[in-house]
Amino acid sequence: MTDFVFPASAPTTLPVAGRTAVFPVGRVYCIGRNYRWSQDEHGTPLVEMPAWFMKPASAVMQARGVLPYPPGTSDFCHEIELVVAIGRGGRDIDPARVERDHVWGYAAGLDLTRRDLQAQAKRAGGPWEAAKAFDHSAPCTPILPAAMFGHPREGDVWLAVNGIERQRADLSDLMWPVPELVAMLSRSVTLAPGDLIYTGTPAGVGPLQPGDVVSGGVAGIGEFSMTVKNTHSISPTGDSP
Ligand code: MN
């Protein structure tokens, strides 16, 4: 057995709907623009992969209870997204085999963003990590196994703050549907079991304030409700003291 100089961290996990076994999270890939945000964006055929970036697995938390307001920002924004959970990895994956052979399940997730830091990074032409890859920045509902529930092609993706709707779209509006998206990503990197792919957010992104109740979901996949709290007394695991 390997002799570590200190105990290796246990993997971040997410619950699985209807199972006691949990899903071990590998890497977290996030896709940039994948819905049209205005009527002006017509359905021109896409040839280039949308931008992607990553968050650490440690940013993933179950979407429930308290959502900590992060440090270093005054523009903490919500992005509701369908999350694809990879069960079998690969590269140069055939789109026709993505669902059958590679997708383990689905969830609803939040790609939380420090928008002010993202704007600074864009102006400076620098990387986005500070805007995207912070603690608790990737809440996610339990994974719904595709083997039991199938593969969603349509259904509402929605988010509300204090009961007022901010985002709503349909999965059929995805410019890059899941098979093409996963296949394209696998031409850029080798996907591995446990990888999560946040598939992009519809229009309507906006700020959250301490005290807000943010709720959202993907129809037939998962729903959540969390309360934003500004506190430093929350442990790194997201558990309240
Ligand atoms: Mn996003």
The mean pLDDT values, 10 residues at a time, for the chain of 241 residues are: 92 96 98 84 63 96 98 97 98 97 98 97 94 98 96 97 98 95 96 98 97 98 97 54 43
How much is the pLDDT for 240?
A: 46
Nearest in space to 29 (alpha carbons), one of 90, 83, 69, 73:
83
| Cα of 116 from ligand 1 centre, angstroms | 15
**Cβ(238)–Cβ(68) below 8 Å:** yes
CA of 15 to the centre of ligand 1 (A): 22
Output the pLDDT for position 43.
56
Residue 167 CA to residue 187 CA, distance in Å, equals: 31
Helix (H) or strand (E) holding 147, with range, is helix 146-149
Q: How far is the CA of 47 from the centre of ligand 1 (A)?
A: 20
66 CA to middle of ligand 1, Å?
21
pLDDT score, position 13: 98
Q: C-alpha distances in angstroms, 141 versus 43, 51, 71, 153, 196?
A: 31, 24, 24, 19, 12
CA proximity to 12, closest of 154, 156, 135? 135
Q: The tokens of 210 are what? A: 């301490």
Instruction: Compute the distance from residue 205 Cα to the ligand 1 centre, in Å.
Output: 9
Q: Which domains does the chain have, with CATH numbers?
A: 13-36+46-233 (3.90.850.10)
Query: How far is residue 95's CA from residue 98's CA, in Å, rounded to a whole number?
Result: 5
pLDDT of residue 1: 79
Look up tokens 């964006």; give the residue.
41
